[in-house]
Amino acid sequence: MGKFGEYVDFLLTRGLRVENLMERDWILIISLAEKCGLLPADAVHLAVAVRLGSTA
């Protein structure tokens, strides 16, 4: 395993979770990208965080 894989393993041991995108996320992703000028990847992360109820 390379350095990136080791880094991902480290993050997983610290509580990183990998979440699936849901169909309903796409509406918010598009809205966030357009209204806030976010890059698509950033809009994806934010939309999933909103769905999961993240407050930080």
> How far apart, in whole angstroms, are the C-alpha atoms of residue 24 and residue 1?
35
Chain centroid to Cα 35, Å, comes to: 18
Nearby residues of 11 by Cβ (< 8 Å), 6 or more positions away = none
Residue 13 inside a domain? The answer is: no
Residue 9 inside a domain? The answer is: no
Mean pLDDT by 10 residues, the chain (56 residues): 94 94 97 97 97 92
Domain count along the chain: 1
Range of the domain at 25: 20-56
Question: In the prediction, which pLDDT does 41 show?
Answer: 97
Whole-prediction pTM value? 0.77
Nearby residues of 33 by Cβ (< 8 Å), 6 or more positions away = 39, 40, 43
- Closest C-alpha to 47, from 25, 30, 24: 25
Residue 3 inside a domain? The answer is: no
Residue 36 inside a domain? The answer is: yes
